[in-house]
Chains A and B, each alone.
Chain A
């Protein structure tokens, strides 16, 4: 089976090479979107792929994996989606239709539904946003720190430092809780 990176490079001159990538990564990209913009994820998925296809020639295999690049496209599409919602926020809306302009709100709702203990929710809430974003890219999207760095457009070393700080902050935040008395982890 061809590697994602080879397909994406080849797709710049052979458009049909792009097709297998859609089958391989749509579910993961949809998961990324639904965790951050649950009501718009279905529509945004198409947008991500059309954008990725239109800009496929900008992919440079030397700068990271195809998977990381695709999530970077998804991140940009998501950001643009929120910008659009912000611009149109003057239109009348019912409370239930307030757009999700802050990814943390959707993330926190997900943690709440999953009954994640308050200490962890608070710890995540107190993380600086860049650290939290990287952490969630690793925890939820199962990206490597290098791939997560490519998604947000920072050097891999910077991403590792931020992730290290995030882990330390969470350990400190959770050290006083009863959770650390549990063996290993809590699910």
Chain B
């Protein structure tokens, strides 16, 4: 009797065919296969000095200016996030603890993904947001932000329109307001952008302000891919971040949780911010706050079911 015969006999019982049939699955989404292949090719490219030749890999291959070290770091970040490797603290600048190696690598990886994103010139920035605040029910609303107004489509079918203040829609960046049209004028050199974001604050408050305003720009503005990449690079050098891979957001999507923990002397908020990001495309899936000193006590969740450009209000 051959081994193959034995293999056939293993399934010699009533119902074996039904069992085999129950194991049938749909073919995976081609995008999943393409993404997987691209990540492997990226890792292969990091181990060789050759460019990755396939088109599918082009979207995630980092630009040459970062060189081989960055490429390795990005592949390592992806792998670390995916497999749950332990984070390794590094010594930071100044008195605050630095971002861990995995946090910094993750942000740099997100920057690379963001930089390769498309640039839309749509008139609206649409976000579909599920919000939950401790003590209240969950609400899901869709926001259409334009240069001069905000249209809110609520979950109960109402449409509310709010006109922007004089000067149009703008975002707080450091100590100034930056309009829709001036977003592209913000510097995309990380050190210059950091100075603007942290203006008017010091120490932990400066870090908190940088994180908070970066998050608002990344989720709620039509920032260009270059600006998004620069924001992530600023965050890569912002101290206090820790990464927990393999967590679910409020919508059940898998991502990496980034938690900032600062001293108690933060000016703006008594709550430590947490984000859940999706390493594969650099999207922020959720932001949430926890009570200071109790990371397990979530006080609010904002889950971004959609964030991107839109041509019209639907």
Q: A: which residues have CB within 8 A of B?
A: 15-16, 18-19, 22-23, 26-27, 30-31, 34-35, 39-47, 49-51, 53-54, 77, 80-81, 83-85, 88, 90-93, 96-97, 99, 110-111, 113-114, 116-117, 119-120, 123-124, 135-136, 138-140, 144-146, 160, 163-164, 167, 170-171, 174, 177, 179-180, 182, 185-187
Contact = CB atoms under 8 A, between A and B. Distances in A.
B17 interface: yes
Given A43-B254, A92-B298, A139 B83 contact: no
A187 B18 contact: yes
B13 A170 contact: yes
> What range describes how many residues of B lie at the interface?
35 or more
A138 B7 contact: yes
B18 A49 contact: no
Chain B CB count within 10 A is highest, among A22, A90, A113, A135, for A22
B43 A50 contact: yes
- Which secondary structure characterizes the binding site on chain A? helix
Interface in B1-46: 3-4, 6-7, 9-23, 25, 27-29, 32-33, 35-37, 39-41, 43-44
Contacts of A92: 298
Contacts of A80: 83-84
Question: What are the 8 closest A-B residue pairs judged by CB atoms, nearest first?
Answer: A140-B23, A114-B22, A47-B82, A185-B17, A120-B15, A84-B246, A30-B28, A15-B47
Interface in B59-116: 75, 78-79, 82-84
Interface of B: 3-4, 6-7, 9-23, 25, 27-29, 32-33, 35-37, 39-41, 43-44, 47-48, 50, 75, 78-79, 82-84, 244-248, 252, 254, 280, 296, 298
A16 B115 CA distance: 26
Contact of B252 (A45, A53, A97): A97
Given A116-B18, A138-B7, 15 more contacts: A27-B33, A30-B28, A39-B254, A43-B254, A47-B83, A50-B79, A84-B84, A93-B248, A110-B23, A116-B19, A135-B10, A145-B7, A167-B13, A174-B15, A177-B14
